[in-house]
Every structure is written in C-alpha cells, then in structure tokens.
Structure 1
Amino acid sequence: SLRAVEKELLPGFHQFEWQPPLRNVSTSCSVGIINGLSGWTSSVDDFPADTITRRFRYDVAIVSALKDLEEDILEGLRYNGLEDSTCTSGFSILIKESCDGMGDVSEKHGGGPLVPEKAVRFSFTIMSVSVKAEGEKVKVIFTEPKPNSELSCKPLSLMFVDESDHETLTAIMSPIIAERDAMKDSRLIVTIGGLPRSFRIHFRGTGYDEKMVREMEGLEAAGSTYICTLCDSSRVEASANMVLHSITRSHDENLERYEIWRTNPFSESVDELRDRVKGVSAKAFMETHPTLDALHCEIGIATEFYKIFQDEIGEVYRQGNATREERRGWRAALDKQLRKSMKIKPVMRMNGNYARRLMSLEAVELVCELVPTEERREALRELM
C-alpha cells in the first residue's frame, strides 16, 4: 500500500481530520432514490440509473477547495509578515453557499414523453481565509478576487428535483445540512505548506434567490402579503412606510414561529395566527442570510425609471389616468429611441445589462429629447 507521503501526491487525495470528529455524518455520498439502500453500489461506475442526486461529502469538498488555495494562503502569510511555522492554528474560512434551480434540463430532442426534468444545484465558494496569530489582530490572508465567477464556485450537489418540490428537496438536502451543522462545531486539521493547521469554518448562505430563501426559511411563497424575507412588513405596511425598515427576521425566530403555527398555543383563528407568525407556515430547514445584491438593486431602480420615462414622455402629471393605448404608444416611442441611438433592444424582463445602460447619462439625454417641456427635462436630469 502507498505510504502517507505518496498518498499526498495523488491528485484529489488529501488527508485531514476533524477535532472533535464530526457527529452523525455518513461517509457514503451517493444518494439513490431514497429507499433505504442509499445508493449501495459495488463499484464507482455502476451507480443505478434511478439515482436522483450525486454529491460530494461537504468536508471533502471544502478540503479539496482549500488545497487548491494552498499557495495563495502561504503567499498571504508571507505578505503579512507572519512566520509560517508559528501559524498553525487560529485560521478561519468564510464560505458563501449558493443554491438555485437550473430550470428544465431534459433532453430537448430525444424521443419519449415530455417530462420536464428540473435540476437544483448546490455549491459553495471560499470567500476568504483569515488568521489570528497569538497577540495579533485578525489578518485576512486570502480573499477570492472573483467571488461571483463560476470558476470560484465549487459544485457540491446536483439534484434532479424541482425546486418547488419541498418534500424531496428537504429530504435530499438534509445530509448536507447535517454535515454543515457538524462542521460548525468542529475544527478542521489539514496540511498546508507541509504543516498541519487548524481551521474554523463559517457559513454564509447568501447565494439564494428570493424563491429559494422563502422555501428554505419556511416563509409563504412569492405573492404572499408578507413581501419581505428580511422583515415582517406586509404589503400594506410597506406602501405606507417607504423608509424605516430594519432586518428583523432570523432563522431561529422562524423556527420558533413555526412551532407557534404548529401548536397554536393561544387558540387563535387562522387569520390571527398567521398575523402572529408573520407568514411562517413551514419548518425552516436551512439557515440563509438573505441580502439584496447590487445587481437586483440596479434592476429594481431601472424598472422604476423605465416607468417614469414613459410617464414623462406622455406628460402623465397633466392628465392623470391615460388609456392603455396611449401608454403603449409612449413605451413604443421610448423603445424606438433607445434602439435607434443606443442599440438597446427592448427586453421582456428587465436584466442587469439593460438596467445599467438605461441608467446611463446617454440614455437620459435621449429620453429628454422625447420630453416635451424644458422644465421637466431639467427635473429629470437632476433626478438622475
């Protein structure tokens, strides 16, 4: 058999250990149709055709990603003037987790019935590695330069399941979540630069869209009167108060609220109960950190301004309610102007590229050409 030194040289083989050892984490990673055999196979290749998910063990995947960064980490230590041999503990890794449906991945022109095959992909990115040497401040020794690139985003699990199918999704993801929870309370010991070093791992689930956040945190689906995944605001409250909001929802609170929803301790009616739990009606099964990223901010702003531009072209402030035909005319004029001068094609759904180009000074000047009065043009330029 190979010696430890020789094993280290094998691609993808990295020795590591956990202190304390990870609790209740299975070593097997192939998950078959969930039937109790749990993907039992005699060799790697003959996994059964009815496998619905393939995944890496989370800790193995993290170690593999960490070993890829080995040189960057050592470089970071040297750059910060930290003595390589003294820094063996106090490292922490910040991991961004992402999960999204991939839509329909069925073969488009094979024979057979048209069943939509939906897939969901769960992946993670090592965002940064920092170290706290004794008596020193925390120093960041590695930061992922392209955190949103698909190259830095390591796949962990691929599931043939519709992201709306809550039951199957939770069943498949539960081992990932168990591994994640076990890793939070343990230290990873892995050799970096020839010395064993100990790492603590911090997870941040920020790579989820709103649909997935609602799914994982047990909130009502999109279109719910509770419109926000960050606070308890309802549609009515939000339209009355546009300014003062703070982030109040949390994973633990969602779990507590689900218990209230389940047990109804105050024997309230459905409506009262729903108001008490603010729309939490399923058990939150994974902690997420919902955020609003710059891209969606831009899309939101541009969507609003696209409407404002149309209203200004049609001078809505003078007449108020316009017919649908008139509005269509203003929109057509705006689209035509943008297409003619900036080569921006109209889009069905606002996307990032369109949003950025629409919010440029060039676009505003073009819109101003269509706005009839000078004072409104000035106002529009100022607003932009």
Structure 2
Amino acid sequence: MEEHISALGMMCRICGQVITSSKNRSSLARYRTELLAVYKLNLDEEQEGIHPSIVCNKCRRQMQRAHSSMQQGKQYQGTLPKKRDFSAHDASCWVCSAHAAYTSHIHPQFGEPSTSGISDQPSTSSQDSALQSSHATAKRSLFGKSVPDPGLASHGKKHIWSVKASLSQVRRDHARRRTKEASEWITDFCEKQKESKTDVLYFLLCENLKECSDSRYREVLASWSKETNDLSAEDCLAMRVTTKTSKSHYEAQYKKFRAKGISILKPPHALNELEKTFMPGNVRFRLEGGTDVIHHTPVKVGKSHAHYGEVSFEPLDLNQEDHPGLETPFPNMKGVAWPYPHALAKTLEELDAEITAGMETAGIDPDDDLCVLTTIKDGADGMGDISITKSVRERLLPDKAFRAAFAVIKCEVVKDGERVTVYEPDAPDSTFITRPLIEAIADENNRASASVLLDGMEQDRVMLQSKEMAVNVGAVWRRHKLKIFNSMIDEKLDRANGGLQGSGSRYICTLCHATTKDSAKTDLGSFCITRSFQETKTTAQYMQVNPDNLSSAELGEIAKGVKSHPILQSEPQQKLLDATHADINMGNFFKKLIICEIARVQTWDITKDVKPMFEAAEKLFNDHVTQTIGLVPKLMMPGNFARDVFNSKNTEHFLALIADEGRKRNLAEVLDAFRNLRKIYRAHHPDADDVCTYKEQAVAMGLRLLTDFPYAGWPNYLHKIIEHVQEGLEDPEGPRTIGGISGEGNEAANKLFRELRGHFSRQHDETQSLRDVLWFHWLYTSPKLKRIGHVETRKYQCSQCKELGHNSRSCPN
C-alpha cells in the first residue's frame, strides 16, 4: 500500500502521466474552479489513497485555456486531455505496475511472455514484419508521456510486435515502409483518374482535420492554395519600426495572436536579436591608408591574417573619459554616438542593392571592380526647450538637446569617361535617408560640451574625406570614393564652433571677408569664397599668443572676424549654404520688411519711439493673414511660414495692408525676383542656363532692394544667396546643388526625437534613454528595412480584381 501511495504522489490526476520533476507539476488545490468547470471534478469528493493530488503542467495549461474560453463564451478549439479513472488498490493495480516499470526503467508490457496460446507467437506477415523492425523505436517511444491503459499493462498479455506506435514516433524509413501500400494505392488512383497526387493528399488531410474539428486545417488549406500570411522576422521588424510600434505593444499583439492559435508574427526575442544585424557594429569594411582590414562583425569570417576589431553593437557613451588620469571637470551633458566610419559603412552596405540595380540599369556589370563616387552630407543642430523629465541626480542637465546626422545623397560611376548616377534618393532632404550619429542632452552654446560632442565626428570626417572605403557585401568588396559636405549646420553653430564671431559682428559672412557697413552693399556682386580653415586656425593661434603685443583694436583688424580656435575642421567650400535655414532667415526678413511698410516706419532698428507702431502693425498683419489665408504666424514653424511667404498665390494677401501702391508694387517685384532665385538654389538639379545667369539676377535684386528700401537691413543669408550660390553650383568639386545638401531632414527629425524620447525610451536613466532613441532612430532610417516595408505594402490583394498593390476600396476597376 505504501508503494501505491508513493506512485499516486508522482502521477497526474487528469492524464495519469508519471511526473519526474517537481517543476512540471502543480497542486490540484490551486485549480478548484477550473477542475470543476472543465472536468466536473469536485476535489471535496476525492479520496486520499485513491486519487492523486497533483496535475502536470501540460494538462494544467490546456485546462486553463479551456476555462478562459468558457468564461468568454467561446468554444475551446484545442484538444483536452482525457481524464483517467483511478480505483482502490488491488492485486492487478495498474498504478503500481506503471510505478514499478518506471523505477526499473522497464515497461510493464515488455515482461516475460506467456507460453499459453498460439496467438503469442509472432506472425510472419509483412505487416507484423514491419512492426518487428520498429521494435527499438516503439520501445523507446511507448514509455513516454502517457501511461498505457490497464489492459496493456498486464504482464505477458501482448508482445512488442503487436503494439503499433504512431508514425510520428518512428524513423522515416519505417514510416515509409508502413505506408507503402497506401501510397501505392493513391498513386494508382491518381494515374487512373488523372489527378495530382499532391492535391489528393492535401484534400484528404484537410477533410480529416476538419472532421476532427482541428483548427490546423486552415493552415493546411492556406498552404495548399499557396496563400500564407506568415511573416519573416525581417518583415515583422520592418513593420514594427516603420509603424513606430513599441516593443511592449508588439509583444502584446504577438501574445494575442498566439492565444488564438495564429502564428503570423515572429516572437519578440527573435526581433531583438535581428536588430543587432542592422547596427553599425555588424559590418566589414576597410579604409584606404589602414594597415589592416578592419572587421567589425559578430561573425569571424576570413583568414587568420586579417585583423578583427572588437565587437560592440552598443553606441559609444560620450561621457566616458578618454583620459582617466587627467583630473578635469566634465561638461554638464549626456550623449551617445555611433562611430562615423562604421555607421557610414553599414549604410553603404544596405544601399548596395539599390546601387547594384542602378548599375544594371546603366548597363554596367555590378561585379566589375569599379570605384563608386559617393557624396555624403552631414551636420549637427541644437534643439531648444525639450521639456525633459529628469531624475533627482540629473536635475542640473540643460533643457536642450543636440543632434548630429549624415545622409548619402548620390552615388556615381565613371562610364566611357562620363559620370553616371547609379543611386540618388528621390527626396534627399527626407527624414528617412538622414541617419543619426549623435543624440545628446547638452547646450550647444557651451564650448566644452560642443567640443566633446563634435571632436570625434570632426576627426572621423577628416579621416574619411577623399578616402576610398571598401565595404564587404556578400562575396563582393564594393569600393567607394568618399566626398563629404558639412552643410547641414546653421550659421549660429558654424560661427560658434568654427572660430568666428557671432552673427551680429562686423564681418557678416562665414565664407568671405565682407563687412556690414563697408563692403557688403557698396561692393555688391564682387565677392567669392576666400576664407579657409587653415587661415582661421592660424589667426586664432596668433590672437591667443599675441607675439607682437598688439592692442585690442589692432588685433580686431588682423582677426577679420576670427574669435577662437575652430572646432569644426571642414573647409568653407564644404559648408556653403544651408537652404533650409536660409529660407527661415529670409522669411523673417521679408515679414519684418512688410510690417515696416504697413507701419510706415523707415528704420530697421526697432527703437522705443517706433516700437508701439511696429507692434500695432504686426498685430494687424497677423490678424489679416489669419482671416484671409487661415494662417496663424505666431503658431507656425518658421520654415512653414517662410514657404507661405514665398508662395506667389499669397503675395496679394501679404501685401494688402500696405497703403502706398507704389511701394506695394516695388516690394511685390522684389519678392518675385527673390522667388526666382529661390527656385534655383532650392532645386536638386538646377538648370545650367539658370545657374549661368543666377548672380546677375541676384545682384539686380539686391540693387533694387537697396534703391527702393534703403533702410532695410542686410542679413547674412541674403549676402550668401547673392554672392556665393552660383560659385558653389559651378564648382567642379562641389555638390552641384544647394537644396540637395540642406539640413531639412535633420531639422524634421527633431520632432521624431521628441516622440521617440517620450514613448520609446527608458525614463529612469538619461544615458539609456538616449541610447534607446539613437537605436530606434537608426532602425527607422534603415534603407533595407524601408525597402522591405515598401515591398510588404504591395502584397495587399484586391478582393474584386485579384490584382496586387491595392484593395477593394481603391480598385480602379
């Protein structure tokens, strides 16, 4: 009896399975409600010496799912385990037999055979021969997860050759032998009836599953009709990233589908591992001038002579001190960044599919050893109040953010002595192609913070500029000749970190030595790019040492606008003009000019005497624009307002309040002339004839502005638009476009930064929060994920015309 009670303590109450591990069983008392609802089993009626008191995890899960379906008023689609019957102990107790077989590792039905009865002798039929050949497999599988019924548990009643194991539990060759006759019969049937054997087998399987109420028949039917909704891991990741779905929300959707028996989505852990393959740490490349091939990859591929770098998928922490022995205070900031070379190499690797397609379109063999001339733009920008929620230890961090990014805007190949474009994005100013490099909480006006943030990026750019980078893509090493333009920066950042005085200084240009009062207006049209990085650096060093003991006034004449040692190391020809910030600046310029004309104030400096008139005219102007056009200037972003100012349809409404018709007409003509210039410098592919006459038109507009509105100021961007645009467009080593190298994509990503930081990042640690923002932003701008997501949208099939690419609502038929 003690052996019987011991056996009951190891058996499941429902299926009767022997449970070997304590981790795989639970107490019945915890599931009274489920047992009563599903199996009509009342624990109060259970007897201690007859019924087990535990349940296995498999039965428990099925029981809980069935109970959950019953509570929701639904029918459970799964198969519940059959409840075993337990009785009092007797001489032929199957519980004790099963326990004894378990302890001796011998199944009860493999005992000594009985010698009485001719049926005990093995048969020589082909069927029984097949059963004999599956002896080893059947012996291994029968004592598995279920206990045989009491009839089979008695010793000597049946032999192994008379016990048939499931086809899924035997080796494939045995299963093929056992089903040979059925397969031959179906083959003969298909030949006679001229049916497809695959279709017949699919049909029989579907019908059998449907009769058994097995939900898997839908999957078989979908596989038969080749209509599968299962997504790959890359599809799921692209869908999650492009729709900006958080990991927790994706996991909830995954569990919801799994509970319904639908396995469309891949598990979250698979996506987390897949994300690493899209990071800059997973790329192989080499750079011209390097002694060894740089392998930065989780897989060691290649021969032992190559040098393999350290593997890291995480971004660099900019707060890590590079010189731990140097005791200096660290600036008040937090930031993370990708290494520029690895980020660029990973981007070029993902773009290789589009580059290859462009080569094939141009009639170039992608496998040829050609050097791709690759043009990149990069830059940085600060953000204003970001309204961050800080922890106590980070309460002193500034309420400002700093971001840096880059974008590949063109890839060309030389064919027959001419450059052929093999890759160029449709929208070079888009957020999707502008890839992040730095995400930080820092004040850009703090020189120490700016130095920590920009030093690494500047050194990497100098290392990459005009160098050849070979990126490994499959079996091909694609060579890229790099040309980088540091154009995605505004003038404020350029002056502060380029070693020049502020925008209100006497020297108004970062590209030449024009001055506000002396030459910018009087020598209109005579300027070209004359500044250089080396000149600024040399002048700053001279001013710092002052070897000739010059006075402040004499140093100011020598400095020519230089203030300090430059952090930015790019040449003025590589910066040129940011068209986005030019629009913002010129939009504010023309708005102020219009308000001055409405107020009839002939002065540009708003002093105390004219301030009331100017404010009244500004309020009148804002109300008029709101009533006529529907715009609210105070609530609009500067860039959006500038686009409305330069829209020819709105000119009449903007100038309607100017009383003098002559001055209104003159201002309209100036606006129209500037609008023509803007079309040229904002174009991604400006017409060559328009470029040739650009400066002539620009000088004419400037003279008209000086003649009709002499009191108007002369903004820095207006000077650059008039003097340096044509020079930059005609430079053979230049980008041949001003609008294509603007920082609009980086500016637009500021909104994305706020969204990611609020909803897709950890809030307890600022460094980890920035890491999450940079990680998700990098995935969001991945060319490969964008390409996968774009292909997935075309898989929608119209239910009416059965064509791909649209649904029934947008069906053209």
* Coarse TM-score class (shorter-chain normalised): 0.7 to 0.9
Deviation (angstroms), 1:22: 6.9
Confirm whether residue 228 of structure 1 aligns to residue 512 of structure 2.
Answer: no
Taking the TM superposition and a 5 Å limit, the aligned residue runs for 1:43-62 are 52-62=334-344
- Gaps of at least 5 residues in structure 2 are 1-273, 295-308, 326-331, 672-813
2:437 aligns to what? 156
Contact 1:123 1:156 in 2 (8 A): yes
CA change 1:373–1:173 in 2 (3 A) is closer
Contact 1:53 1:158 in 2 (8 A): yes
CA change 1:152–1:276 in 2 (3 A) is same
Name whichever of 277-286 and 10-19 sits farther off.
10-19
Confirm whether residue 333 of structure 1 aligns to residue 620 of structure 2.
Answer: yes
Map Cα deviations across residues 41-68 of structure 1 (whole Å, 9 max, x no partner): xxxxxxxxx9933222211111111112
1:65 aligns to what? 347
Partners of 1:211 and 1:354 lie apart in 2 by 21
Confirm whether residue 216 of structure 1 aligns to residue 485 of structure 2.
Answer: no
Taking the TM superposition and a 5 Å limit, the aligned residue runs for 1:271-286 are 271-286=553-568
The correspondence for 2:643, drawn from 356, 364, 367, is 356
Partners of 1:273 and 1:252 lie apart in 2 by 18
The SS at the match of 2:517 is helix
Partners of 1:314 and 1:215 lie apart in 2 by 35
Partners of 2:414 and 2:485 lie apart in 1 by 20
Map Cα deviations across residues 103-138 of structure 1 (whole Å, 9 max, x no partner): 3446347667464243322211111112235x5322
The SS at the match of 2:511 is coil
Deviation (angstroms), 1:147: 1.9
Number of matched pairs: 360
CA change 1:175–1:375 in 2 (3 A) is closer
The correspondence for 1:309, drawn from 572, 580, 594, is 594
Contact 1:299 1:355 in 2 (8 A): yes
2:284 aligns to what? 15
CA change 1:236–1:63 in 2 (3 A) is same
Map Cα deviations across residues 211-260 of structure 1 (whole Å, 9 max, x no partner): 21112211123433322212222332256436233222122221222232
Partners of 2:492 and 2:410 lie apart in 1 by 27
The correspondence for 1:79, drawn from 353, 361, 364, is 361
Deviation (angstroms), 1:297: 3.6
Contact 2:490 2:578 in 1 (8 A): no
- Gaps of at least 5 residues in structure 1 are 1-6, 39-49
CA change 1:166–1:369 in 2 (3 A) is closer
Map Cα deviations across residues 33-90 of structure 1 (whole Å, 9 max, x no partner): 426359xxxxxxxxxxx9933222211111111112111100111121112222x232
Task: Tell which structure's C-alpha radius of gyration is larger.
Answer: 2
Contact 2:487 2:578 in 1 (8 A): no
Partners of 1:315 and 1:173 lie apart in 2 by 46
1:344 aligns to what? 631
1:169 aligns to what? 450
Partners of 2:481 and 2:646 lie apart in 1 by 42
Contact 2:402 2:442 in 1 (8 A): yes
Taking the TM superposition and a 5 Å limit, the aligned residue runs for 1:23-34 are 29-34=316-321
The aligned amino acid for 2:633 is P
Confirm whether residue 366 of structure 1 aligns to residue 653 of structure 2.
Answer: yes
The SS at the match of 2:404 is strand
Partners of 1:207 and 1:326 lie apart in 2 by 38
The TM-score normalised by the length of structure 2 is 0.40
1:121 aligns to what? 403
Deviation (angstroms), 1:379: 4.2
The SS at the match of 1:84 is coil
Partners of 2:611 and 2:619 lie apart in 1 by 12
1:41 aligns to what? none
Confirm whether residue 246 of structure 1 aligns to residue 515 of structure 2.
Answer: no
Partners of 1:155 and 1:333 lie apart in 2 by 42
CA change 1:118–1:34 in 2 (3 A) is farther
Once superposed, what is the RMSD of the aligned Cα atoms? 3.4
Partners of 2:335 and 2:660 lie apart in 1 by 61
Name whichever of 370-379 and 327-336 sits farther off.
370-379
1:46 aligns to what? none
The aligned amino acid for 1:196 is W
Contact 1:22 1:186 in 2 (8 A): no
CA change 1:187–1:300 in 2 (3 A) is closer
Partners of 2:333 and 2:600 lie apart in 1 by 59
The SS at the match of 1:354 is helix
Contact 2:333 2:449 in 1 (8 A): no
Deviation (angstroms), 1:342: 0.7
Partners of 1:364 and 1:195 lie apart in 2 by 55
The aligned amino acid for 1:259 is Q
Taking the TM superposition and a 5 Å limit, the aligned residue runs for 1:170-209 are 170-184=451-465, 186-192=467-473, 194-209=475-490
The aligned amino acid for 1:286 is L
The TM-score normalised by the length of structure 1 is 0.80
CA change 1:111–1:264 in 2 (3 A) is closer
1:45 aligns to what? none
1:138 aligns to what? 419
Contact 2:398 2:442 in 1 (8 A): no
Contact 2:288 2:469 in 1 (8 A): yes
The correspondence for 2:540, drawn from 258, 274, 278, is 258
Contact 2:377 2:488 in 1 (8 A): yes
Map Cα deviations across residues 125-183 of structure 1 (whole Å, 9 max, x no partner): 111112235x5322221113222222111111223332122123223433333333223
Name whichever of 10-19 and 94-103 sits farther off.
10-19
Higher relative contact order (CA 8 A, sep 6+): 1
Contact 1:106 1:116 in 2 (8 A): no
Q: Among the aligned pairs, what percent are the same residue?
A: 23
